[in-house]
């Protein structure tokens, strides 16, 4: 029996095949076996995402400690030189940043305060990197998670990267809690952060706690739902102590903020709105239920606060994960059924269903390739055969493990709704696996285009085998890291999301593979296109003794109207060019698009039509048609208002207010378009669009202009035509480089 959901069920009914039984999802969930329902109710797949340096790794370390997964806490950049558990790559520990996301799991016992007994929750946790250059890691984590904790710094509030993470959470409909960390810092102000979540991220937010004490006097929080003071006691704050006695100086604030919480909920939840209208006060259970409903339906985020480094108020955040973030059955996950014209299907997270899982991350470990899989429905068992939906390859799963950063625990089976890692499963990241009885594929992940590239080669030729091994591993792990060999120079070119992104790979090559590399100057990934329609009529005719080369191609070239792809078409009737030769023409067109006539960069948005031509009885060949098409392409391209496209970046800069003038000056010099400036009490944030070419060396200048206090992120936005002067300079530079090469 197969199950189908809402719209798909209706669509499928029209052409229901004999073997398909259409069942409504709500009905199926209703009939879900009790054991699955109970199990899923206690599972949370969550991610932790935030601006760089907000304390994600430090928080995760506390979570692992309090849940008993680790027995000692090591700080990021701590004096003991061990480094945090989750930052397992040597490089991560050294730089104190998270590059790869690590998956781990832990069990948290939620003390039941309403008298129904304690409940044990199973939490799968992904620590995600904060730097924009590692966006793909965040994207991949969010794709497979059901909920997230968004961490903010109590001093800085919403920062540039918080906005990026916010966009990603919205793209994948991930419900979230907000946790304001670093409450111990001087200048900590959780209310500014709450306002910013409301205003800048435009998601209704209200605190469910207020702080007891300020800055280095921060001692704990008041739970606004139950109106209880919560403190941490014992070594590393391991014991939570609750008290009905709310300190006198906090009581008024707590009552005021409780009202704000109820008012905010009334705006997003009908039940609370009704109670509010009746001028009644909702019960604790009603408030909790409303927070859960509104959070899961993405209308609201409850805000908690604490300090990870100070070991205060992390446990209530874990309780909130259990209370307010969804379990796997509360999130709709779709697959496409390839046997039914890719009709969407809702996957049902229980074990009796056919197995469907998504490989969302690959890692080369000491024991071979490790593949992280989220099981969406059915269960994955050791020794079971699975099928890769991309190529139908059958693979036996020899070993399943649960990951704990870089350590692992063997298990025999993983149930629906959970995350695990498997060994010996050869695949690319983003592949869907099934048990072979269904032909589902999960919708693919959003992979941004690389915008920067550089040439790379090993210093010593003896290192070439290791170099190739490293390159192929990085490529399989990271879809935003691309590699190709330049046909002309025979150089290996790597491309990625930013300078740091590529630097990290060069560094990993050195550390993990012992290969020192020589790299060229970073290059912007320009694109080339045309703006007008042009006709062509081109003949290749060469007679050099013996058989000659002859091919004539006639047609036109025009912009496709979008920059997504190039298109080739032929409208040749009457056999002036045979099918075989037309195929060679298409090949000529495609290879011309790889290296544009202006700068040698990829061509986008060009449509070529061949509608006539001529063939010679003996002198025509596939090669002559391929060459003739390439020559025609070049001529037509240059006559069709050829244009260089450059990557335009969304740049977000934050710095103390006194430096605003300096920053605006810096951006104006770069011909950036300033879109918006938010001025806060201490800091301002400037949003601008600027071409990537203009942004080289910006971090050094920003540091100089702000006494090291400014920070920025940038993200690819779109390709846009370069200014005529810039185009002229680039073309000239390219011409000179070619001349130099030919001289050599
Ligand atoms: N004062 C204070 N510092 C903290 C707190 N939590 C973390 N830190 C410090 O902030 C710095 C960054 O913490 P991390 O945990 O590495 O932050 P992250 O968000 O994981 O950083 P990336 O992985 O680089 O994105 C470290 O020096 C921590 O010791 C806190 O509650 N209070």
State pLDDT tens for residues 188-221: 999 999 999 999 888 999 999 999 998 999 999 9
Measured from the CA of 130, which atom of ligand 1 is nearest?
25
Residue 54 Cβ inside 6 Å of ligand 1? The answer reads yes
Q: Residue 93 above 50 pLDDT?
A: no
Q: Residue 473 above 90 pLDDT?
A: no
Task: Output 215 or 85, whichever has higher pLDDT.
Answer: 215
Measured from the CA of 78, which atom of ligand 1 is nearest?
29
Mean pLDDT of 100-120: 75
Measured from the CA of 185, which atom of ligand 1 is nearest?
1
Residue carrying the six token digits 């695990």: 420
- pLDDT at site 139: 67
Of 204, 40, 64, nearest to 126 by C-alpha is 64
- pLDDT at site 379: 93
Closest protein CA for atom 2 of ligand 1: 182
Q: Residue 441 above 90 pLDDT?
A: no
Question: What pLDDT band is residue 603 in, cutting at 50, 70 and 90?
Answer: very high
- pLDDT at site 98: 46
Q: How far apart are CA 131 and CA 159, in angstroms?
A: 12
Residue 53 Cβ inside 6 Å of ligand 1? The answer reads yes
Q: How far apart are CA 310 and CA 62, in angstroms?
A: 10
128 among annotated binding-site residues: yes
Q: Residue 94 above 80 pLDDT?
A: no
- pLDDT at site 8: 34
Closest protein CA for atom 12 of ligand 1: 53
- pLDDT at site 205: 97
Distance 493 CA to ligand 1 centre (A): 35
Residue 265 Cβ inside 6 Å of ligand 1? The answer reads no
Q: Phi and psi for 563 in degrees, rounded to 5?
A: -100, 20
Which tens digits make up the pLDDT trace of 37-47? 888 889 999 98
Residue 75 Cβ inside 6 Å of ligand 1? The answer reads yes
17 among annotated binding-site residues: no
Domains and CATH numbers, the chain: 41-324 (3.40.50.300), 333-442 (2.40.30.10), 452-524 (3.30.70.870), 528-640 (3.30.230.10), 645-726 (3.30.70.240)
Measured from the CA of 127, which atom of ligand 1 is nearest?
20
Of 181, 246, 188, nearest to 212 by C-alpha is 246
Mean pLDDT of 375-403: 89
Closest protein CA for atom 7 of ligand 1: 55
Mean pLDDT of 706-724: 83
Residue 85 Cβ inside 6 Å of ligand 1? The answer reads no
Q: How far apart are CA 395 and CA 387, in angstroms?
A: 6
Percent of the chain topping pLDDT 90 = 44
Going edge to edge, which strands form the sheet with 220-223?
209-212, 220-223, 228-233, 239-243
Q: Would you say 284 and 272 are in contact if contact means Cβ atoms under 8 Å apart?
A: no
Q: 327-363: buried (b, 16+ CB within 10 Å) or exposed (e) per residue?
A: bbbbbebebbbeebeebbbbbbbbbebebbbbbbbbb
52 among annotated binding-site residues: yes
- pLDDT at site 22: 43
pTM above threshold 0.90:
no
Q: How far apart are CA 162 and CA 721, in angstroms?
A: 30
* Mutate-to-test residue for ligand 1 from 48, 49, 55, 132, highest number of ligand atoms within 8 A of CB: 55
Of 355-359, 475-479, 557-561, 703-707, where does mean pLDDT reach its minimum? 475-479
- pLDDT at site 45: 92
Question: What pLDDT band is residue 144 in, cutting at 50, 70 and 90?
Answer: confident
50 among annotated binding-site residues: yes
- pLDDT at site 155: 92
Distance 56 CA to ligand 1 centre (A): 7
- pLDDT at site 142: 75
Q: What is the dihedral sign for C-alpha 158, 161, 165, 171?
A: positive
Residue 100 Cβ inside 6 Å of ligand 1? The answer reads no
Of 134-148, 240-254, 596-610, where does mean pLDDT reach its minimum? 134-148
- pLDDT at site 137: 63
**Cα 19 to Cα 2, 16, 128, 180, 378, distances in angstroms:** 9, 8, 43, 53, 20
Closest protein CA for atom 32 of ligand 1: 182
Rounded to 10 deg, the angle between the 464-477 and 499-513 helix axes is 130
Distance 87 CA to ligand 1 centre (A): 12
Which tens digits make up the pLDDT trace of 298-330? 999 999 999 999 999 999 999 999 999 999 888
Mean pLDDT of 658-677: 92
- pLDDT at site 96: 44
697: left (phi over 0), alpha (psi -120 to 50) or beta: left
Residue 436, exposed/middle/buried by CB under 10 A (0-12, 13-18, 19+)? middle
Residue 98 Cβ inside 6 Å of ligand 1? The answer reads yes
Distance 165 CA to ligand 1 centre (A): 17
Measured from the CA of 76, which atom of ligand 1 is nearest?
16
Q: How far apart are CA 397 and CA 383, in angstroms?
A: 5
Residue 222 Cβ inside 6 Å of ligand 1? The answer reads no
Which tens digits make up the pLDDT trace of 60-70? 889 988 988 77
Torsion of CA 129, 130, 132, 133, to 10 degrees: -30
* Mutate-to-test residue for ligand 1 from 85, 156, 309, highest number of ligand atoms within 8 A of CB: 309
Question: What pLDDT band is residue 361 in, cutting at 50, 70 and 90?
Answer: confident
Residue 87 Cβ inside 6 Å of ligand 1? The answer reads no
Give me 202's structure tokens.
Answer: 């435009």
Mean pLDDT of 97-107: 63
Residue 471 Cβ inside 6 Å of ligand 1? The answer reads no
Question: What pLDDT band is residue 1 in, cutting at 50, 70 and 90?
Answer: very low
Residue 185 Cβ inside 6 Å of ligand 1? The answer reads yes
Distance 446 CA to ligand 1 centre (A): 28
- pLDDT at site 114: 65
Of 434, 440, 419, 335, nearest to 372 by C-alpha is 419
Residue 307 Cβ inside 6 Å of ligand 1? The answer reads yes
Q: Residue 415 above 60 pLDDT?
A: yes
Distance 225 CA to ligand 1 centre (A): 29
Distance 74 CA to ligand 1 centre (A): 12
Say if the ipTM goes beyond 0.90. yes
74 among annotated binding-site residues: no
541 among annotated binding-site residues: no
Chain mean pLDDT for the chain: 84
432 among annotated binding-site residues: no
518 among annotated binding-site residues: no
Measured from the CA of 97, which atom of ligand 1 is nearest?
24
Which tens digits make up the pLDDT trace of 237-255? 999 999 999 999 999 999 9
* Mutate-to-test residue for ligand 1 from 50, 51, 57, 193, highest number of ligand atoms within 8 A of CB: 57
Of 85, 18, 98, 7, nearest to 52 by C-alpha is 98
Q: How far apart are CA 504 and CA 98, in angstroms?
A: 11
């Amino acid at each position: 029996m197969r199950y189908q959901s809402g719209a798909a069920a209706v669509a499928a009914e029209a052409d229901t095949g004999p073997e398909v039984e259409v069942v409504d999802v709500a009905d199926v969930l209703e009939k879900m076996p009790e054991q699955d329902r109970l199990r899923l109710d206690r599972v949370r797949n969550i991610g932790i995402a935030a601006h760089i340096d907000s304390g994600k790794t430090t928080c995760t370390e506390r979570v692992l400690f309090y849940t008993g997964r680790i027995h000692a806490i090591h700080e990021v950049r701590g004096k003991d030189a061990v480094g945090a558990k989750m930052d397992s790559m040597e490089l991560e520990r050294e730089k104190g940043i998270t590059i790869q996301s690590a998956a781990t799991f832990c069990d948290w016992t939620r003390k039941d305060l309403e008298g129904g007994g304690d409940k044990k929750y199973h939490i799968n946790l992904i620590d995600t990197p904060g730097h924009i250059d590692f966006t793909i890691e965040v994207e991949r984590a969010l794709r497979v998670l059901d909920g997230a904790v968004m961490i903010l710094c109590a001093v800085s509030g919403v920062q540039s990267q918080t906005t990026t993470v916010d966009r990603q959470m919205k793209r994948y409909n991930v419900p979230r809690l907000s946790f304001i960390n670093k409450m111990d810092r001087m200048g900590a102000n959780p209310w500014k952060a709450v306002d910013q979540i409301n205003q800048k991220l435009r998601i209704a937010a209200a605190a469910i706690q207020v702080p007891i004490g300020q800055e280095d006097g921060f001692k704990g929080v008041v739970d606004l739902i139950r109106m209880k003071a919560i403190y941490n006691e014992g070594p590393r704050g391991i014991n939570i102590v609750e008290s009905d006695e709310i300190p006198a100086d906090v009581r008024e604030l707590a009552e005021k903020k409780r009202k704000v919480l109820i008012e905010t909920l009334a705006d997003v939840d009908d039940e609370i709105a009704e109670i509010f209208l009746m001028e009644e006060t909702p019960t604790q259970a009603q408030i909790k239920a409303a927070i859960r409903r509104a959070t899961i339906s993405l209308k609201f985020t409850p805000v908690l606060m604490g300090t990870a480094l100070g070991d205060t108020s992390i446990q209530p955040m874990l309780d909130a994960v259990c209370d307010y973030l969804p379990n796997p059955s509360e999130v709709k996950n779709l697959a496409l059924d390839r046997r039914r014209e890719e009709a969407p299907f809702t996957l049902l997270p229980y074990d009796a269903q056919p197995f469907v899982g998504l490989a969302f991350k690959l890692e080369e470990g000491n024991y071979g390739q490790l593949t992280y899989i989220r099981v969406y429905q059915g269960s994955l068992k050791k020794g079971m055969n699975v099928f890769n939906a991309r190529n139908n390859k059958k693979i036996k799963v020899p070993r399943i493990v649960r990951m704990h950063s870089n350590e692992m625990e063997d298990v025999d089976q993983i149930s629906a709704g959970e995350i695990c890692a498997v060994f010996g499963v050869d695949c690319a990241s983003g592949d869907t696996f099934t048990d072979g009885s269904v032909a589902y594929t999960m919708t693919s992940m959003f992979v941004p285009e690389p915008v920067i590239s550089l040439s790379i080669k090993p210093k010593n030729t003896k290192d070439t085998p290791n170099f190739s091994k490293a390159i192929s591993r990085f490529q399989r792990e990271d879809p935003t890291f691309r590699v190709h060999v330049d046909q002309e120079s025979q150089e290996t070119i790597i491309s990625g999301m930013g300078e740091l992104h590529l630097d990290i790979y060069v560094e990993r090559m050195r550390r993990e593979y012992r290969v020192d590399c020589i790299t060229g100057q970073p290059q912007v990934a320009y694109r080339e296109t045309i703006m007008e329609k042009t006709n062509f009529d081109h003949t290749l005719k060469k007679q050099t003794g013996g058989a000659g080369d002859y091919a004539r191609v006639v047609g036109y070239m025009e912009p496709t109207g979008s920059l997504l792809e190039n298109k080739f078409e032929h409208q040749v009737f009457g056999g002036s060019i045979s099918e075989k030769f037309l195929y060679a023409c298409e090949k000529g067109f495609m290879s011309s698009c790889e290296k544009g006539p202006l700068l040698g960069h990829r061509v986008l948005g060009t449509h070529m039509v061949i509608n006539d031509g001529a063939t010679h009885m003996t002198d025509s060949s596939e090669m002559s048609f391929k060459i003739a098409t390439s020559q025609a392409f070049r001529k037509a391209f240059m006559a069709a208002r050829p244009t260089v496209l450059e990557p335009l970046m969304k740049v977000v800069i934050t710095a103390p207010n006194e430096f605003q003038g300096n920053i605006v000056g810096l951006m104006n010099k770069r011909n950036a378009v300033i879109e918006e400036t938010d001025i806060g009490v201490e800091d301002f944030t400037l949003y601008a669009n600027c071409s990537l070419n203009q942004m080289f060396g910006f971090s050094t200048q920003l540091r100089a202009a702000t006494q090291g206090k400014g920070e920025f992120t940038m993200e690819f936005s779109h390709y846009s035509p370069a200014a005529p002067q810039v185009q002229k300079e680039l073309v000239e530079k390219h011409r000179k480089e070619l001349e130099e090469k030919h001289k050599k």
